[in-house]
Amino acid sequence: MSKLRLVPLAFVLMSLAASLSASAAPFALFCSQEDPMERVFLAAAHKAQLPTKCGPYCDSPGSYVTPTATAIGASCAIAQTNLTTQLKSYANSFCGSCQLVVVTTVACHATGTGYSVSGYATYGCRDSTC
């Protein structure tokens, strides 16, 4: 009796498989057709990411760091200017720096020969889209 129950079940499963494979073909055909608007949309999205004109820009601002340096001067203002100049020179020798930000690690203080200040800088590198 159990064999008789399996025959209708097998028939149902085979019928279902045949109908699915027959109905899947039109669906696959529909999905494989190229959508012309998809190309237009993708092209428009791609163009929006491209630079609008040729020119310089600052690549990765704040991503690069100079070593810590110390500068001296006759006053705190001169010592700070000397530190900035020294750090900018280092950054420029690396890649033509941009957006240089000096971070003071040791505040300006009097020494036997003038005033001293220490710090480092973060910066980006100049680049061009040309």
Query: How do residues 6-46 score in pLDDT, each as one tens digit?
Result: 445 555 545 545 554 544 445 444 445 555 555 555 555 54
pTM: 0.56
Q: How many CA atoms lie within 13 A of 88 on its CB side?
A: 10
* pLDDT bracket for residue 57 (50, 70, 90): confident
Q: Is the same domain home to 121 and 62?
A: yes
Q: How many domains does the chain have?
A: 2
If asked whether residues 116 and 66 sit together in one domain, one would say yes
- In terms of residue numbers, what domain contains 10? 2-49
Q: Judge if 62 and 123 occupy the same domain.
A: yes
Do 66 and 119 have their domain in common?
yes
The answer to whether residues 59 and 124 touch, using CB atoms and an 8 Å cutoff, is: yes
Contacts of residue 61, defined as CB under 8 A and 6 or more positions apart, other chains included, come to: 98, 99, 123, 124
Q: Do residues 102 and 87 touch, judged by C-beta distance below 8 A?
A: yes
Ramachandran region of residue 122, left (φ > 0), alpha (ψ -120 to 50) or beta?
A: beta
Domain shared by 44 and 61, yes or no: no
Residue 18 has what pLDDT?
53
Residues 77-130 pLDDT 10s:
999 999 999 999 999 988 888 889 999 999 999 999 899 999 999 998 888 877
